[in-house]
Amino acid sequence: MVHGKGILDDFSFVIPPLLAAFRFEKDTTVMINKAISQIPKELCDSKRNQYQSDHLLMWLQQTFEPSASTKLLAVCDFDAYFGKYNFCFGEAIISGKISAIYLARLLPLHSNVDKKFLNLFQDRIVKEAIHEIGHNFGLRHCSRDHCIMFKSRTISDTDKKNSEFCMSCIDPLAVSLKSPSN
C-alpha cells in the first residue's frame, strides 16, 4: 500500500473484505508500505496538481515487479486522473497485477471527523479497492448500478453501489479465480 500521512494511518480494515471477495489466502497477502516521497515527482501534472494514474501504474509495475500470482493495490492520498477524464477514484490494469485507488475524492465532504465520517470513508475505500482488483481479475465495468463493478462517475455512484459482485460478474470472476495465472 502506498500512502502518506492522512486521516487513516491503518488500512487493515480493507483486508477482510478483499480476502472474502477474491478468496485470497491471508498468509499469502503481502502489504507494501512505502512513503509517498518515493513516487517520482514527474508523475504529477503540476498544471493540474494531479498524478497521472496510468503512469503511476506503469511505475508501480516496473518498481515492484509483482509475480504472476500477486495483485498489488496502491492506496494513494492524492488526486489523480487518466486519459480524457478530469479525475479518477482508481484505476487498474485489466487482467494485470497492479491497481491504485486515490483517497482525495473519496473523503466525505463534511468537516467533522466522527464515526459516521470514518465509516463512510472506509466503505468507499473498500468498494474502490474491490472494484479495481476486480479489473485485475479481468472484469469490465458492469451496467448494473448496484454492482461493485459499476463505473462510478460521481461519489454518489460509489455510495449507492454494493460492495459485492452481481450475478453477471460472479461467473467470470469465478473462472478467473480458478485460472492458474491468477
For each of the domains in the chain, give its residue range(s) and CATH number, in order of start. 12-178 (3.40.390.10)
pLDDT tens digits, 155-164: 999 999 999 9
Task: Give the model's pLDDT for residue 179.
Answer: 77
Instruction: Name the pTM for this structure.
Output: 0.89
User: pLDDT at position 37, please?
Assistant: 60
Tell me, what's the pLDDT at 66?
Answer: 84
CA–CA dist 159, 5 (Å, integer): 24
Q: Which of 25, 65, 91, 132 is catalytic?
A: 132
CA dist., res. 144 & res. 45, Å (int): 33
Q: In sequence order, which ranges of 65-166 are alpha helices (DSSP H)? A: 115-136, 155-160
Tell me, yes or no, if 132 is annotated catalytic.
Answer: yes
Kindly indicate the confidence band of residue 137, based on its pLDDT and cuts at 50, 70 and 90: very high
Q: Which of 25-39, 43-57, 68-82, 120-134 has the lowest mean pLDDT?
A: 25-39
Tell me what pLDDT residue 4 has.
37
Assess whether pLDDT exceeds 70 at residue 114.
yes
* Whole-number Å distance between alpha carbons of 147 and 160: 9
Q: What is the pLDDT at residue 12?
A: 82
